[in-house]
Amino acid sequence: MRLSLVQSRALVGLLSPGVTVEVHLANGLPSFTLVGLADVEVKEARERVRSALLNSGFEFPNNQRITVNLAPADLPKDSGRFDLPIALGILAASGQIDGSRLHRYEFAGELSLSGALRPVRGALVMGLALYKLANAPHLVLPPGSAEEAALVPGATVYRAKHLREVAQPFLPVGQTSDEATSTWERLPEPVNPPQAAFSPALDLADVKGQTGAKRALEIAAAGGHSLLMVGPPGSGKSMLAHRFAGLLPDLSVDEALETASVASLAGRFRIENWLKRPTRHPHHSASAVALVGGGSPPRPGEISLAHHGVLFLDELPEFPRSALEALREPLESGSVTISRAAHSAEFPARFQLIAAMNPCPCGYAGQVRTPGQVGPVCRCTPDQVHRYSNKISGPLLDRIDLHIEVPSQSAAQLIHVTVGESTATIKTRCDRVRRRSLQRQGCTNQALSGPALDLHGKLGPEAAAYLTQVATHFSWSGRSTHRVLKIARTIADLAERQDILSVHIAEAVQYRRPFAGHR
């Protein structure tokens, strides 16, 4: 009776709990049994491991009873990440490698039939599980996955391309050291490139005119507010939205690790996107599951992939109603919990929502045409406009901080207008406000609530009376009133004023005017 133990890790949401791969060889009828709540993908490892061992020059114990247990037994396991530890366990149990020297390492990787290693999802999540862990084991991963895990500060990650390379340091014959020397490649910690390398390719100076919309973008970036733009086709809504991420502050390493771990879990992480804020732009046909996440096991959706970044929803009323309503709770809480019968998973979803829509089904409501001009004219009936606007519910609109109109630009404005401020110039002001708010209250202005909002959003008698009058006139909810107060706090910070004045409240009120169809 021979037994071997190899360490690996599973994926459960954004957690990567440890898994011990136990391999037992015994006399009896030849068989290969795999237990431990393994998914179909994991059970298919039997055939991959058999071929990989034979094609790598090792012996497969065909004449023995092989039992592989993935412990703990109540933890779901999926994907082909356990191919490599299963193969090493069989080699150790059969005496082809020294199993006593495997305990210092954790292995993950999918095997091809030739023994070559293929990348797996969630390598960065595995690295984060060992983050700041005393005496953390070393990770051995395939190319493509090792580079992800090496982004975690302090992680010791080795890259191996083939099963033979992984097994070479543990061969019992001719080995005097348990260190992986010639066959493994240790990856160094990445050196963060200078911030100048992250200058946005899309610049706000490219957008002609639209001074009011640019001001709203600046307020949204400085305070962390969400934004809805309403305007006819071709007015520049998409151009403005795609340039918004360049106004946000640079990612810290911890924020970048959180963002990259979600992308790694979904299999969408790219090294070139390291330290860049994500901008997600799902098509309006996306379902609620695609937006917020789901499946079994649960996978992150677009709102989680936009964590610490921007979620841009163009043609907002064209999204399914169920998908839009699913955004309510994440906009408030900054996270989403996907619950299924077997288990649940919580994913971060602290994103900035930028939405755009037309004022009516044809898009040309409110267009003014002088005599002699020829062009599109809105022929939508009031009932059609009302139904179109009502596709967005009042509770969802109530959670969007800024509502602005983006009018179309005339030919003269597009041709003769001077170049506006660049993204770098506006970003400098936004960064200053962010730093000021973090030093003052420890969070962005949008995240103010409870006693912190009462303290840092305190109004003088004149400003308080004005806000009370406007909120009563429009019958605002408590949430709407507080959001105007948060916007005014950001406007005051941009003006470098400690107190919130009536003029700041007046500008904030302009961004909460009644929405068509919800008057």
pLDDT of residue 184: 82
For residue 76, the surrounding DSSP H or E stretch is none
d(CA 15, CA 24): 28
Structure tokens at 483: 């959001």
Q: What distance lies between CA 206 and its chain's CA centroid?
A: 27
Please name the amino acid found at residue 277: R
Tokens at 266, concatenated: 């979904």
Query: Residues in the chain, how many?
Result: 519
Please tell me the distance from the alpha carbon of residue 246 to that of residue 228, in angstroms, as a whole number. 18
Query: What residues does each domain of the chain span?
Result: 2-187, 196-364+377-445
Nearest to 205, CA basis, from 417, 409, 410, 403: 417
The 10 Å Cβ neighbour count of residue 450 is 8
Contact (CB, 8 A) for 275 and 198: yes
Q: Specify whether the CB–CB gap between 21 and 7 falls below 8 A.
A: yes
Instruction: Enter the DSSP assignment of 485.
Output: H
* Cα gap 91→99, rounded to integer Å: 8
Identify the CA nearest to 486 among candidates 448, 452, 458, 514.
448
Q: At what angle do helices 423-441 and 211-223 cross, to 10 degrees?
A: 30
For the domain covering 2-187, report its CATH number. 3.30.230.10
- The two structure tokens encoding residue 25: 């060889």
Read off the tokens for 288.
């609620």
Query: Rounded CA gap, 300 and 261, in Å?
Result: 11
CATH architecture type of domain 196-364+377-445: 3-Layer(aba) Sandwich (3.40)
Task: Kindly state the greatest CA–CA separation across the chain.
Answer: 96
Residue 465 to residue 163: CA distance in whole angstroms: 73
The DSSP symbol for 293 reads E
Amino acid at position 160, single letter: A
CA pair distance 292, 303, nearest whole angstrom: 6
- The tokens of 41 are what? 């993908």
The residue among 219, 457, 453, 194 whose CA lies nearest residue 352 is 219
- Tell me the pairing of strands 18-26 and 65-71: antiparallel
Closest Cα partner for 157 from 182, 179, 184?
184
Report yes or no: 244 and 236 within 8 Å, Cβ to Cβ: no
Q: How far apart are CA 490 and CA 500, in angstroms?
A: 9
In this prediction, residue 196 carries a pLDDT of: 42
pLDDT value for 201: 66
Q: What angle do CA 198, 202, 207 make, to 5 degrees?
A: 145
Query: Peptide bond preceding 72: is omega within 30 degrees of 0, i.e. cis?
Result: yes
Task: Give the pLDDT of the chain (519 residues) as one tens digit per residue.
Answer: 489 999 999 998 888 999 999 999 999 889 999 999 898 989 999 999 999 999 999 999 999 999 999 999 988 898 899 999 999 999 999 999 999 999 999 999 999 999 999 999 999 999 999 886 778 899 999 999 999 999 998 889 999 999 999 999 998 866 544 444 457 888 887 766 544 445 556 889 888 888 899 999 999 999 999 999 999 998 889 999 999 999 999 998 889 999 999 999 988 898 888 888 999 999 999 999 999 998 877 889 999 999 999 999 999 999 999 999 999 999 999 999 988 776 788 899 999 999 999 999 988 887 766 666 677 788 888 888 888 988 899 899 999 999 999 988 877 777 777 778 899 999 999 999 999 999 999 999 999 988 999 899 889 899 999 999 999 998 888 899 999 999 999 999 999 999 999 999 999 999 987 665 555
Question: Of the candidates 501, 479, 482, 478, which has an alpha carbon nearest to the alpha carbon of residue 491?
Answer: 501
Strands 185-187 and 402-405, sheet pairing: unpaired
Residues 6+ apart with CB under 8 A from 201: none
Distance CA(147)–CA(170), nearest Å, equals 23
Q: Torsion-angle region of residue 107: left (phi > 0), alpha (psi -120 to 50) or beta?
A: beta
- C-alpha 242/C-alpha 263 separation (Å) is 20
What's the rounded Cα separation, in Å, for the pair 94 and 203?
A: 62
Whole-number CA gyration radius for the chain: 28
ω before 297 within 30° of 0 (cis)? yes
Per DSSP, the three-state class of 435 is helix
Torsion from C-alpha of 387, 392, 395, 400, nearest 10 degrees: -140
Tokens of 341: 């019968």
For 8-64, the DSSP string reads EE--BTTB--EEEEEEEEESSS-EEEEESSB-HHHHTHHHHHHHHHHHTT----TTS
pLDDT of residue 68: 96
Task: Please count the other Cβ atoms lying within 10 Å of the Cβ belonging to residue 195.
Answer: 9
pLDDT of residue 375: 72
Interacting residues of 384 by C-beta distance below 8 A, sequence separation 6+: 360, 361
DSSP label of 124: H
pTM: 0.87
User: Rounded to 5 degrees, what angle do the CA atoms 276, 278, 284 make?
Assistant: 160
3-class secondary structure, 504: helix
